[in-house]
């Protein structure tokens, strides 16, 4: 037991002499630990920001695709409208020509029968 008491007394003396050094190391260890936590937090935040950018990019790509599809549809619609207008123009002339031919035929038949 005496041997252990000697070590105990020696440890107390060393602690008194070098106690400030241990406190400084403990503080430094705490600062390093806090720095690690801050770096981990910054890394997590950066990762979340990059994930958010990736999601936004996908949403924007989807919106761009929809807009291009809509523009293609509108372009197709405008060309169909032009074609329908042309067809309507010629259909109108065809109807008028048919009316004139019908009137001529009716008058021709009436003239021949009377």
Q: What is the per-residue pLDDT for 25?
A: 78
Decide if 15 contacts 22 (C-beta within 8 A): yes
Using DSSP's 3-state secondary structure scheme, residue 114 falls into coil
Domain layout of the chain by residue ranges: 1-80
- Terminal Cα-to-Cα distance of the chain (whole angstroms): 154
Q: What is the per-residue pLDDT for 102?
A: 95
Q: What percent of the chain has pLDDT over 90?
A: 37
Distance CA 20, CA 75 (A): 81
16-57, pLDDT tens digit by residue? 666 566 677 778 888 898 999 999 999 999 999 999 999 999
Distance CA 79, CA 84 (A): 9
Question: Confidence band (pLDDT; 50, 70, 90) for 70?
Answer: confident
Q: CA 100: distance to chain centroid? A: 62
Average pLDDT, the chain: 83
Q: Which residue has the higher pLDDT, 88 or 15?
A: 88
């Amino acid at each position: 037991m005496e041997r252990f008491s000697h070590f105990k007394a020696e440890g107390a003396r060393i602690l008194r002499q070098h106690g400030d050094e241990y406190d400084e190391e403990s503080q430094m260890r705490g600062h390093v630990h806090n720095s690690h936590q801050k770096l981990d937090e910054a890394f997590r935040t950066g990762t979340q920001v990059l994930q958010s950018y990736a999601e936004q990019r996908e949403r924007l790509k989807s919106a761009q695709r929809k807009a291009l599809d809509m523009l293609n549809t509108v372009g197709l619609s405008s060309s169909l409208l032009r074609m329908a207008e042309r067809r309507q123009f010629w259909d109108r002339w065809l109807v008028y020509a048919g009316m004139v031919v019908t009137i001529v035929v009716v008058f021709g038949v009436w003239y021949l029968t009377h």
